[in-house]
Chains A and B, each alone.
Chain A
Amino acid sequence: MRHLRKYFTVFRISLENAFTYRSNLIGGLLFYSLFIFVFFNLWRAIYQGGRVAGYSLVQMVWYLCMTELMVFGCRSSIFGQMNEDVKSGSIAYQLNRPYQYVAYQFFNALGGVAFNFLIYGTLAIILGLVMVGPIPGFNFAVLPLALISVILGAVINFFLMMALGLTAFRLEENTAFYLIYQKLVFMLGMFIPLELLPVWLQNIAKWLPFPYVAWAPARLIVAFDFGLFWEVIPMQLIWAVLAIILSMTVYSYGIRGIHAHGG
């Protein structure tokens, strides 16, 4: 228990740190609102009554608010920071400490992520309510279950990003990995629900980790059903565990041959 204090402390400090980036936050809030507004109008034009892929307009707008919340909420500066640290050599300060580096970075990111979810979550709810009103048939009793999916989605995202980020220990340039990863999350469930894709692509996508970052939690929030819940949660659990194992593996491989620059 005593050994866990370091991880709690970095969480607290990084949360404190998140409060210092004010202009960054204001920019993010504006960007989020603009994004939702544009898509709101697009969907309103597409919907001339009826449903699209089983979603009503209200559900679709809330879906978008939730997937965007996953993306904005999970944003963390630590990946860019890791790249910079390797390039500048500051990584030396982080590696010879008595902690498990990957676990430490998880709690380090968690401060900012918790802060983001609080702020963007509030904004998402306000925007959703203003634009289309509450989700019809929304049941607060199942919200905790949907939140499990939200947390698992964030965990999958963090450790996949971590595994990509840790390649910086060996590679000079790894930003392309982030881009590819983000585009895959965007395409497979963030901009448009998975149900809108051709069936064959849906079938492939459901075996990949990407839809479980944004699609699964958003879908469970806007239209919860137990069948889907039991289908999605095991997949999320499996991918979360695989992502953790992957990032640990990349770490132990990277640490053996790290290029620590500077001097």
Chain B
Amino acid sequence: MYAIEAENLSKVYRTRTKEEGLGASFRALIKPVYKEVNAVHDIGFTVKQGEIMAFIGPNGAGKSTTIKMLTGILHPTGGRIRVLGLDPVSDRQKLSYRIGTVFGQKSQLWFHLPPTDSFALLGAIYDIDRAALKKRTQELTDLFGLGDLLNVPVRKLSLGQRIRCEVAASLLHAPDILFLDEPTIGLDVVVKQGIRELIMRMNREQGTTIFLTSHDTGDVEQVCRRAMVIDKGHIILDQSVKKLKYDYLNRKIIAVRFDTPPHLKAPVGITLEKLGKTAARLSVDTRICPIDEAMRWLIGQGGVADITVEDPPMEEIITAIFNTAGGEAS
């Protein structure tokens, strides 16, 4: 059985446009001009129960719009959606008992009150009786390592602590599907990793279906088994993360600074993208040259003063996908 089914799903926004200048402002006041934006254009996909699905794409690609349609917040302009067999628009309330959402940049906790108050409220909203709520809160406290955080006013929590509480709050009613919209945005590496592990554990231990959007390649690589790539409202790729990793997530960018000008002769699999007097930018093809090998070679050059390793930005990966796979998928 499918947890999520979408067919020919579309969303068109109508936004008001205005040319520059005072005259145009006047005209727009009397006769507004509208522009139609195809945020999501005729997409279709299915997600199996218990699957971890990544939905990736650059900003403005239609990721959030899709999540908001799947959770019944936005009404689609066209197409058909079934989430757990329900129509998110007409069965919004019924469905809301069975799904959970986390919006990374937004908060559902009361800012001035400790999370335990927000938990009590959410428990009431989802009709969880007090004993069950207490048990569930304890379970999530242990799982998420929340400890005393639940009794500290939210405004005094760090971003990482707060996000952990946010995710826990979304899981109080034990949803069958958890939708996460950019859950790790703005978090440091350690906290990010913690959140990723939690998501994987939820999936493993409770069988929760995960639908995650992100533009962090790390989220996708480490958490998800399948990925869909969306760009400008179209799905341009839908395949296993394993294959995606091999085909597209196969590069690391190393920026390095030396004490003295080096004499670099890059081995196979490493491309010298930029070379300054004492600094260099390298691109490593990890299929040919694993990252630890690349690092060892670099350290072997001697006199490394500073080094950073990064994933190439999502935008670059999308462009690469679009250039190679763009035609076949759409």
Contacts and interface: CB of A to CB of B under 8 A. Distances in A.
Contact of A93 (B99, B103, B120): B103
Contacts of B110: 13, 17
B112 A95 contact: no
A3 B128 CA distance: 10
A41 interface: no
A14 to B, nearest CB: 8
B103 A20 contact: no
A45 to B, nearest CB: 43
A6 B117 contact: no
Interface stretch (A156-164, A174-182, A201-209, A255-263): A255-263
Interface string B54-70: 00000110011100100
A6 B105 CA distance: 25
B5 interface: no
Contact of A13 (B93, B121, B127, B153): B121
Contacts, number: 98
B13 interface: yes
Nearest to A10: B121
Interface residues of A, number: 32
Interface in B1-39: 13, 16
A50 interface: no
Given A3-B127, A9-B121, A262-B106, A17 B113 contact: yes
Most buried by A among B63, B94, B127, B182: B127
Given A13-B113, A92-B73, A92-B103, A5 B96 contact: no
A20 B113 contact: yes
B108 A93 contact: yes
A258 B92 CA distance: 15
A144 to B, nearest CB: 31
A263 B181 contact: yes
Given A89-B103, A93-B108, A96-B73, A260 B68 contact: yes
Q: Interface centre among A13, A257, A263, by most B CB within 10 Å? A: A263
A95 B71 CA distance: 9
A6 B96 CA distance: 14
A97 B120 CA distance: 15
A3 B106 CA distance: 27
Interface string A121-134: 00000000000000
Given A93-B106, A97-B126, 19 more contacts: A2-B127, A9-B120, A9-B125, A13-B110, A13-B113, A16-B113, A17-B110, A17-B113, A20-B153, A21-B112, A89-B64, A90-B107, A96-B71, A96-B92, A96-B99, A97-B96, A257-B75, A260-B64, A263-B63
Ranked nearest first, the 6 interchain pairs of A and B with the lowest CB-CB distance are: A263-B64, A9-B124, A20-B112, A90-B106, A93-B108, A6-B124
Interface of A: 2-3, 5-6, 8-10, 13, 16-17, 20-21, 88-93, 95-99, 172, 255-260, 262-263
